[in-house]
Amino acid sequence: MRWRNVKQKNFPKKETDASIPQRLFAGFWTRALGFVTDLFMIGIPVSLFMMMVFGRDEMKRATALDVIAHNEAALTNAPDPLISLLHVIFMMSIYVFLWHRNGKTPGKQLAHSKVVDATTLKTASYFQLIVRFLGYFLSAITLIGFFIGLFRRDKRTLHDLISRTAVIHAD
């Protein structure tokens, strides 16, 4: 701050939410790159770990999508709900830990973006991040949830809106 501004009580205005530059928010393709990368870098190792713990036969069971689609596999080889729940909890704990630690998963690191609280642009709370992870399922069920960001200035998707988070470009 310059002395002349202090003498004349001419202080620069603070940034408000409306004055945050729009290029701050990560776009659809940046987010998609991070998401797909995370599926491989987190999802596959977690699935392999679950296979080692619960056995190879558990990985041959029908998935939740088979149950929803009423596939034959769901009737003959139904999934174990406890193992499915443990798998989701394990994935959620990894994602939430990484998002809270520095806002980045490996995919977000590759895409040079990070998850933050939408109002403060600081690290989001654990509660917000858990809600964000669970919101992924709602976005996946509706499919439109992932594409809402294409029509918004702040690029936030359904799970971001529910959890009051945002994905921004990282330094």
Q: In tens digits, what is the pLDDT along the chain, a chain of 171 residues?
A: 565 665 566 655 555 455 555 568 998 899 999 999 999 999 999 988 988 888 777 666 766 666 667 777 677 777 777 888 888 899 999 999 999 999 999 999 999 999 999 999 999 999 999 999 999 989 988 889 999 989 998 899 999 999 999 999 987
- Cβ neighbours of residue 77 under 8 Å, at least 6 residues apart? 60, 61, 62
Dihedral of alpha carbons 158, 160, 161, 166, sign: negative
DSSP 168: E
Give the separation between CA 22 and CA 46, rounded to whole angstroms.
Answer: 35
Q: What is the DSSP letter of 25?
A: B
Q: Has this prediction a pTM greater than 0.85?
A: no
Contact, 115 vs 99, CB < 8 A? Answer: yes
What local confidence, expressed as pLDDT, does residue 89 receive?
Answer: 92
The number of CA neighbours under 13 Å toward the Cβ of 160 is 25
